[in-house]
Amino acid sequence: MTALARLSARFSRIAALEEAAGMLHWDAAAMMPEGGAAARAEQLATLAGLSHELLIAPEVAADLAAAEAEGEWQAANLRLMRRAHARAACLPTALVERSARANSACEKLWRRAKAAADFALVAPALSEVLACQREIAARLSDALGLSPYDSLMDGHQPGVTAAEVEPVFAAYEAFLREALPRAEAIQAAKPAPIPLPGPFPAAAQRALCRSLAERVGLEPAHFRLDESLHPFCGGTPTDVRITTFYDEADVAKALLGVLHESGHALYERGLPAAWARQPVGQAAGMAVHESQSLIIEMQACRSDAFLSWLGPRLHEAFGGDPAPYAPENLARVWRRVGRGFIRVDADELTYPAHVILRFRLERALIAGELEVPELPAAWNEGMRGLLGITPPDDAKGCLQDIHWHDGAFGYFPSYTLGAMAAAQLMAAARAVTAGLDEALARGDLSPLVGWLRAKVHAQGARLGFQDLLREATGKPLDPADFMAHLTRRYLTA
């Protein structure tokens, strides 16, 4: 075997281990009884250690030095292998396993702490997670020549740094300061939305959500829809797992959540099968992934066109007065601007403020400028500064997200970078896809998904975030497209 063939076989084996770990994570969130937590933590730590040891074995460095690639995809794959090895080689296996155990233990405590709105329950475990992440960041920083926080960001969205994100977020904060009061005033001058009546039986929601996931393009043989405390998309490209939760008083939580996760799932399903289990055949990063969930949920499925198709289906599923399901009323209900505490419930105008807050706090945590016991107060102060509101308790404040408790630092910027990229991609798709809105009005996302398949999904990780946008839209990330979208949707009287 050539050096490149040996590397390809090794990375395929690593990917299979990571797929197994992903399924165990899904099971822990959706199926596992509470008593299995300790054993599951050990299983995940063992798999993390095995993957790490495969990646840092001495022969890998020799093969990476000797390998020669032919063609653009092979060259990109070899480049990504070298990047993965460089990130792994500086981390001792013991640290990788310690971090995995800390994350599993903290995640389980977080569930109890959130339910009790008691940050003290999880604070010691979160301190251990943070200690691991600081050590990992410091080692990566030395090896990669990045700041500690940038080295963590690079693990979620390669090639994007805090220095690039800061001015984008500062510009958005300035835009929001003027846009939010305007949007609130415009909204107040319009008729109040008619609340969707409910109740919405969970069984009917489940059936509707599944049918919508299939409607946007997911094949029944390749996905599952289950329940968990925090909605997510996991699994593998051929076995995609979506989770959501059902609130019988509010159909939007599950329905819009499943549309969001279906965007993630479509991306996984569309990755290049010829490069399966190779670095270049994987997603291009979490900001790209978020762009795919948000172009489906926010850009397409909350559009006037799609709501005109969806309204009658909702009325058919739940009955009662048809007026609340009129598309103009659904738009007023599901595109309502409000200063809320919960990120996942936020409208798309205020959502970036939630991300900006987390970006600033996690940078300070990694830098040692903020310690875990200080987090609730810092969170509340940041919320007051950005949205003028103060959470009544930690469940609606710093306990609301799973990410830090599961070791995901440097992840949050991807949400808003993805929202901005989604608006840019949608503008480009509309410019070249005739009849896109007419198709959405028929509940048909195939023209949009077909364009995304070619321009984003099929590209795998061949291109970085900015180059992917350049090829798809003709320019790198341009937040002006996102602000123009928000202006049209929220700031037009």
The residue to which tokens 């010691």 are assigned: 124
Looking up tokens 């949050």 gives 412
> Coil, strand, or helix at residue 35?
helix
What does the pLDDT look like over 365-376, one tens digit per residue?
999 999 999 999
Give the DSSP letter of residue 295. Answer: I
Q: What is the mean pLDDT of residues 420-434?
A: 97
* Amino acid at the residue 166: E
pLDDT, tens only, 85-144 = 999 999 999 999 999 999 989 999 999 999 999 999 999 999 999 999 999 999 999 999
pLDDT band at residue 480 using 50, 70 and 90 as cut-offs = very high
CA Rg, the chain, in Å? 22
Q: Is 90 exceeded by the pLDDT of residue 170?
A: yes
Residues 6+ apart with CB under 8 A from 261: 231, 232, 233, 242, 243, 244, 293
pLDDT at 346 over 90: yes
**The pLDDT of residue 21:** 94
Distance (Å, whole) CA 260 – CA 31: 21
Tens digit of pLDDT for each residue in 455-477?
999 999 999 999 999 999 999 99
Q: Over the stretch 172-189, which tens digit does the pLDDT of each residue have?
A: 999 999 999 999 999 999
Residue at 355: amino acid letter: V
Question: Which residue, 170, 169, 180, 172, is CA-closest to 490?
Answer: 180
Active-site annotation holder among 19, 97, 107, 261: 261
pLDDT band at 493 (very low <50, low <70, confident <90, very high): confident
pLDDT at 443 over 90: yes
pLDDT over threshold 90, residue 29: no
What does the pLDDT read at residue 316? Answer: 95
User: Residues 213-265: pLDDT tens digits?
Assistant: 999 999 999 999 999 877 899 999 999 999 999 999 999 999 999 999 999 99
Cα 37 to Cα 20, 50, 108, 309, distances in angstroms: 17, 20, 7, 43
261: annotated active-site residue = yes
Cis geometry, peptide bond prior to residue 158 (ω within 30 degrees of 0): no
The chain-wide mean pLDDT, for the chain, equals 96
pLDDT band at 34 (very low <50, low <70, confident <90, very high): confident
